[in-house]
Structure 1
Amino acid sequence: MDNTQQPSDQQPSARGLPRLTLLREITDGTVLDEVFRRGRVTRAELATSTGISKPTISESVRRLQEAGLLRESGTRTGRRGRVASFYELDLRAGWVLALEVSQAGLHSSAADLAGREFDSRWEPPVRSGDTDALIQSLRRTARQVLETGRRLHGELRAVSLSVANPVDPTSREIIALPNSPFPEGLVRPHQILADLLEAPLLIDNDVNFAALAERRSGAAREASSFAYLHVGAGLGMAYFLQDQLLRGAHGLAGEIGYLPIRSVDGRRASLAVTLARQGFGRPDAPSIDVVRVTDMIEAAVAGEMPARTALALFADTLAQAIAAICAVNDPELVILDGPIGNHPALQQRVRDSLTEITTLPVRVEGGQVDRAALRGAVHLAVDTGRSALLTG
């Protein structure tokens, strides 16, 4: 039996790769992360910021250039006449596509792997339940953006889709909920886009995406455990615990519209049904009347007494749900957002109500990210696209 060991740089790693290959992959990933963070950087700066030796950095930069991921982008003269070359992400390293389906229509955002948007589009909303029109809208937008993206940035690395319905955590299929005002649960995006997209398709709930955007660049930048409550035509919540999104066994964590609430007349129903019974729902759809409630809040701000009474009732009902969330999960922050939830007057009235019904420390703030769901979808697509650079 030959007991001679393999050379140390060829011993298999836990991932099944030769050790030298694994070290190169780690180094290249570290270099790319710095390029993403800084945008434009020299090899000396890379060595300083990463702690990796200059020769190793030079080899990594060479490999990444040969792979079409980095490009030289100018020079800088230093001390004693030394010239340093700058490197940045190659324009054709790849790109990502984010799609958002909502009652406002279909919005899309295409970005390079640095997260810079280069294409955005909008298609008007389809009639509720018209799945054929929704499918056509998705495919039409995908075709148009694919042509532009491939021409400018090469390979499509990831696609994300934001929908108003929950998503099964195992199958990643959209869940159609009873009495939902949103038609997306009736389509299967993986099937209808399969022939157009060669990249991974990532589907998630719009509230989850919005919470991700607030964590990255909004109100939750300093909070790793927080609740994000969307109040609009529908109600939804996302909860991050130590930067981990809680999905639940069936993908239904955060479906706060189904939370049981006792109304002022003593009847018990879900939060959504209770608000409808209180006069805040639309008569023609299972949803909150956004226009009517917004007008009510504005009238309350103007001092109209009936509107002030209605605002207090609306806020008190929401506060009951928020108090329940805080009693169970104790978040650092509750973000109140959405077409109705982002109104400062509502946020303040909710704070006042919480002071009356709970002694728990509850901090309520408004969302800070515009088009948060689409922005969060871009973040996830970029993260996935970057990860694919060295493995795709």
Structure 2
Amino acid sequence: MGDRYLVGIDLGGTAIKMGICTIDGQILGELERPTPKGSYVDVLKTFRTMVDELLQGLGLTKNQLTGIGVGVPAFLDVKKGFVYEIVNLGWKNVSLKEELEKLFQLPCYVDNDANTAALGEMWLGAGRGSNELICLTIGTGIGGGLILNGHIYHGAIGMAGEIGHLPVRPVGGRPCNCGGHGCLETETSASAMVYYAKEAATKPGRLKELSDKMGTITAKDVIELAKQGDPASIQILDQVSYYLGLSLAQLANVLNPQKIIIGGGVSKAGHFLLDRVRTHFIHFAIKKIGESTEIVTAELGNQAGWLGAARLVQQRLE
């Protein structure tokens, strides 16, 4: 093993995922712990405990660490590492970079968790060998990250990559928590699929039978029923695919990425979903862009966020 190591942390609303790797991405150790529900001070204490535990388990010392990167589900000032708000943790106005550097006496860097996941996929996942990427995670909501010239693109005020809030049905679309209507998130997320499945379950069919039996319907249920040929579930998946293909084509026509990476729970539908998305993408994209852009599923799963945060340290120091 080499002399210097990177620590990456992925802070989630329910869990903290952390790991140590070499500068070339060899994973040495990982940990996962529940996210404390107290103040940010409690979270920082958990960070310290986890780092100490990893170092001890690997026989390393803090002096062998190059730095620490953290991905957070927040709006923030990336340059200052200042978190404006993390809604699901109750954080407001936290100088996270400053607090981390006081705690660890090491260079520390902070970015949005969707950005660090995108960076992780570029470094060691589905985006290997590509410097121009669009990465989105489709789960309860939709997170997005843009990689341009091998680095996270933040935009003028650090909010680039809000792919989930592209308006795809501004007229007649459902309200979104961003204040808009008909955003991509309200039409293609797992939550959106459940919403439309519940609507369909008011009429006779497989979705109604499942709802009556289980009392609930999940996005996974919709995907499985669609694979079995259920017309109502196929219609929902076709609608999701249409809006995804349309939105990704709009982004690709502007950014001309090498790859578009789709992760999150909905991506587990695999080719059954991606083939539909590609059809619409090619229809709406400029011909050469449609032909040259790969649409692939993410590879790193829960490791993407912390690995991207670790990579962030190396890039910032360089």
Question: Radius of gyration: which is bigger?
Answer: 1
For the structure 1 residues 174 and 233, does the alpha-carbon distance in structure 2 shift closer, same or farther, using more than 3 Å as the test?
farther
Q: Give, in angstroms, the shift of residue 190 of structure 1.
A: 3.1
Could you list the runs of 5+ residues in structure 2 that have no partner in the other structure?
175-180, 197-216
Q: Considering only aligned residues, what root-mean-square deviation do their CA atoms show, in Å? A: 3.2
Find the partner of 2:298 among 338, 362, 367. Answer: 367
Q: Give, in angstroms, the shift of residue 250 of structure 1.
A: 0.8
Q: Tell me the residue number matched to 1:160.
A: 69
Find the partner of 1:146 among 52, 68, 79. Answer: 52
For the structure 1 residues 124 and 358, does the alpha-carbon distance in structure 2 shift closer, same or farther, using more than 3 Å as the test?
same
Q: Tell me the residue number matched to 1:205.
A: 112
1:176–1:185 CA contact under 8 A, matched in 2: yes
Q: Tell me the residue number matched to 1:347.
A: 274
Q: Give, in angstroms, the shift of residue 192 of structure 1.
A: 4.4
Q: Tell me the residue number matched to 2:312.
A: 380
Q: Give, in angstroms, the shift of residue 186 of structure 1.
A: 6.0
Could you list the runs of 5+ residues in structure 1 that have no partner in the other structure?
1-87, 283-290, 388-392
Find the partner of 2:248 among 299, 322, 325. Answer: 322
Moved segments of 4+, more than 6 Å: none
For the structure 1 residues 323 and 384, does the alpha-carbon distance in structure 2 shift closer, same or farther, using more than 3 Å as the test?
closer
Please list the CA deviations of residues 283-317 of structure 1 after superposition, one character each: whole Å capped at 9, or x if unmatched. Answer: xxxxxxxx822221122112222111111112222
What's the TM-score, normalizing by structure 2? 0.75
Q: How does 1:219-368 map to 2 (within 5 A)?
A: 219-262=126-169, 265=172, 268-275=181-188, 280=194, 292-344=218-270, 345-360=272-287, 361=290, 362-368=293-299
Find the partner of 2:9 among 96, 99, 106. Answer: 99
For the structure 1 residues 347 and 165, does the alpha-carbon distance in structure 2 shift closer, same or farther, using more than 3 Å as the test?
farther
1:100–1:107 CA contact under 8 A, matched in 2: yes
For the structure 1 residues 293 and 202, does the alpha-carbon distance in structure 2 shift closer, same or farther, using more than 3 Å as the test?
same
For the structure 1 residues 356 and 144, does the alpha-carbon distance in structure 2 shift closer, same or farther, using more than 3 Å as the test?
closer
**Equivalent AA in structure 1 for residue 73 of structure 2:** A
Query: 3-state SS of the aligned residue for 1:262?
Result: coil
Find the partner of 2:85 among 176, 190, 204. Answer: 176
Q: Give, in angstroms, the shift of residue 153 of structure 1.
A: 3.6
1:94–1:153 CA contact under 8 A, matched in 2: no
Counterpart Cα distance in 2 of 1:147 and 1:367? 29
The answer to which structure, 1 or 2, has the higher relative contact order (CA under 8 A, 6+ apart) is 2
1:131–1:184 CA contact under 8 A, matched in 2: no
2:9–2:305 CA contact under 8 A, matched in 1: no
Q: How does 1:80-99 map to 2 (within 5 A)?
A: 89=2, 93-99=3-9
Q: Give, in angstroms, the shift of residue 373 of structure 1.
A: 1.3
Q: Give, in angstroms, the shift of residue 224 of structure 1.
A: 2.0
What's the TM-score, normalizing by structure 1? 0.62
Q: Give, in angstroms, the shift of residue 331 of structure 1.
A: 1.6
Report how many aligned residue pairs link the two structures. 282
Query: 3-state SS of the aligned residue for 1:252?
Result: coil
* Range with bigger deviation, 235-244 or 257-266: 257-266
Q: Tell me the residue number matched to 1:216.
A: 123
Query: 3-state SS of the aligned residue for 2:82?
Result: coil
